[in-house]
A = this chain, B = another copy of it.
Amino acid sequence: MTIIPNLNIVPFVSVDHMMKLVLRVGIDTFLRELADVVEEDFRRWESFDKTPRIASHSQEGVIELMPTSDGTLYGFKYVNGHPKNMKEGRQTVTAFGVLSDVGNGYPLLLTEMTILTALRTAATSAVAAKHLARKNARSMAIIGNGAQSEFQARAFKAILGIDTVRLFDIDRTASEKCARNLAGQGFTIEICDSAQSAVEGADIITTVTADKQYATILTDNMVGPGIHINAVGGDCPGKTELHRDILLRSDIFVEYPPQTRIEGEIQQLPEDYPVTELWQVISGEKHGRVNDRQITLFDSVGFATEDFSALRYVRSKLAATGLYTELDLLADPDEPRDLFGMLLRCEATLA
C-alpha cells in the first residue's frame, strides 16, 4: 500500500479567487481560451456520457445537477434558477461545480461557478455564432440586460469582433447598468426604448431575459433575413422567449436535443421537429449557415459538457496562478479501511 500525502485535500476556487483568476488571465483571453476548450469538447461530443440535467422544480424555481464524463474526467454542476431572487437581493442563478478523476472517483477541483457559468454561457454563445452568424456581423441587439448581458457582449467582441451593442430591457436601469459596465471597452452602445427598436440593423439578436413564463420577447415581424438569433433566456419548461412563427422560419441549432426539447424554445414545436446539433456543425458533419438570407437560431439551454469544459479549463490554470485554497474535504485515514480508527485517533488528540 502506497501512502500518498494530502489525499484529503481538494483545491477550492472561491468567488474571490475566480474573479482574480479571470482578471489575471484577462477577460478577453479567458473568454477566448474557454471558447476554444468548449469548441474542442463539442468536437469530441461522442466521447461524452450525456444525460439531461436532473431538475428539482418548485414553485419558486429549480435546482439542477448537470453531470457528464468523458471517461477520464467526470464533472458536474449544481445550479439553481430562481427569478424572484433578484427582488430579495440574491442572484437568479448561482452555481458551483466539481471535477473528478473517473479512475478513483476523487474530486480534483471544487469551484464557484456563478461567475464561471456566466463566462461559459457567453463563450458557448459566441462559439455557436462563429459557426452560424454572417461572417461580417458587427452589431448585436441584447434583449434583457441582467447579469448575463455584459458577458455576452464581451464574448462576442472577443471572439467575433462585434463592436456595436443595442440594449433593451423592460427595466431601463438594467440597460444603463449594462452600458456603464461596457463603457470604455471599444463598444458603440445604444440604449433602446423597445425590443423592436433594439433589433433594427442588428446582425445578431441575443435574448437573455429571466422571467419563468412563456414570454414573447421577439415577434415574427422583428426578425429580418440573415439574422442570427442567440436565444439564451428560454431554458426551462414553461420558459420561452420567441414567438413560435420565428422558429418555423429559422434553421434551429441545439446542444443536446433530449434536453432542449424539454427546456428550449423548441418545446413549442412537435417532438420530431428537425433540428441540427451544434457539435455536428462544429465537427463539419453538417452545415451551419449556408447563405446570407437564412435565419439561424441557436436555441441555447446550457449543457453539462460546457460546464465540464469550463471546469477543466479552470483546473488547467490553477498550478500557474495559485489562485485556490486547499479544502479538507475527503476523509483520508492512513489505512483506508480504518475510517473508524481515524475518529478514535482524533479523540485521542483531543483528550
Q: Are A96 and B63 closer than 8 Å at their CB atoms?
A: no
A78 surroundings in chain B (CB, below 8 A): 76, 98, 107
Q: Are B104 and A85 closer than 8 Å at their CB atoms?
A: yes
A146 surroundings in chain B (CB, below 8 A): 337
Q: Are B118 and A177 closer than 8 Å at their CB atoms?
A: no
Known: A115-B339, A336-B86. A103 touches B56 (CB 8 A): no
Residue of A7, A91, A146 with most partner-chain B CB within 10 A: A91
Q: Are A104 and B60 closer than 8 Å at their CB atoms?
A: yes
- What's the Cα separation between A103 and B177 when bound, in Å? 27
A8 touches B (CB below 8 Å): yes
Residue of B14, B49, B63, B107 near A328 (CB, 8 A) is B14
Residue of B12, B67, B104, B327 near A90 (CB, 8 A) is B104
A319 touches B (CB below 8 Å): no
Q: Are B340 and A112 closer than 8 Å at their CB atoms?
A: no
For A340, give the chain B residue with the smallest CB separation: B150
How many protomers of this protein does the assembly include?
A: 2
A222 touches B (CB below 8 Å): no
Mask for A74-87, Cβ within 8 A of B = 1, else 0? 10101011101111
How many whole Å from A227's CB to the nearest CB in chain B? Answer: 25
Residue of B51, B58, B81, B180 near A71 (CB, 8 A) is B58
Residue of B4, B22, B54, B61 near A105 (CB, 8 A) is B61
Q: Are A104 and B80 closer than 8 Å at their CB atoms?
A: yes
Mask for A3-44, Cβ within 8 A of B = 1, else 0? 110011000101110111011000100000000000000000
Name A's B-contacting residues (CB within 8 A): 1-4, 7-8, 12, 14-16, 18-20, 22-23, 27, 49, 51, 54, 56, 58, 60-63, 65, 67, 69, 71, 74, 76, 78, 80-82, 84-92, 94, 96, 98, 100, 102-107, 112, 114-115, 118, 145-151, 154, 174, 177, 180-181, 327-333, 335-344, 346-347, 350
Write 23 A-B pairs (CB below 8 A) sorted by A numbering: A7-B90, A14-B329, A15-B328, A19-B342, A23-B346, A51-B54, A60-B102, A60-B103, A63-B102, A76-B78, A84-B104, A85-B105, A85-B336, A90-B106, A90-B336, A94-B105, A94-B106, A96-B330, A118-B339, A147-B337, A148-B339, A174-B337, A177-B337
